[in-house]
Amino acid sequence: MARYAGQDQTGVLFYINPYNNGAIFGKEELSKMLKKNKMESREAYFQPADNVHFINQVFSSLLLTFQNLGYTDKVVRIEELQRFITSEQTNLQKRNKK
């Protein structure tokens, strides 16, 4: 699920569901979708997503596809990329706290 906030980042303007043909909807529709799918409503679901989140979502989808197709070499490479991006994000967060 993608979330977009305006430039001032004061609140989410809309949500995008990339797994449903890019459907765009508001907070109320997101709440209904979570309830329909028997998912716990967490505040994090309603916050803007960062670039690393988007990249990891794409990588997760690729991983499933490559695993299903038996492309083990590509699975290994995607897992390496995910670890790299996650570690870089962690390092950046640590530097920003200093």
Tell me what pLDDT residue 8 has: 54
Residue type, 73: D
Tell me what pLDDT residue 93 has: 78
Confidence of residue 53 (pLDDT cuts 50, 70, 90): confident
62: buried, middle or exposed (CB in 10 Å: 19+, 13-18, 0-12)?
middle
Confidence of residue 10 (pLDDT cuts 50, 70, 90): low
Whether the pLDDT of residue 7 is over 80: the answer is no
- Residue 12, SS3 per DSSP: strand
Q: What is the mean pLDDT of residues 42-48?
A: 86
Question: H-helix or E-strand containing 16?
Answer: strand 12-17
Confidence of residue 95 (pLDDT cuts 50, 70, 90): confident
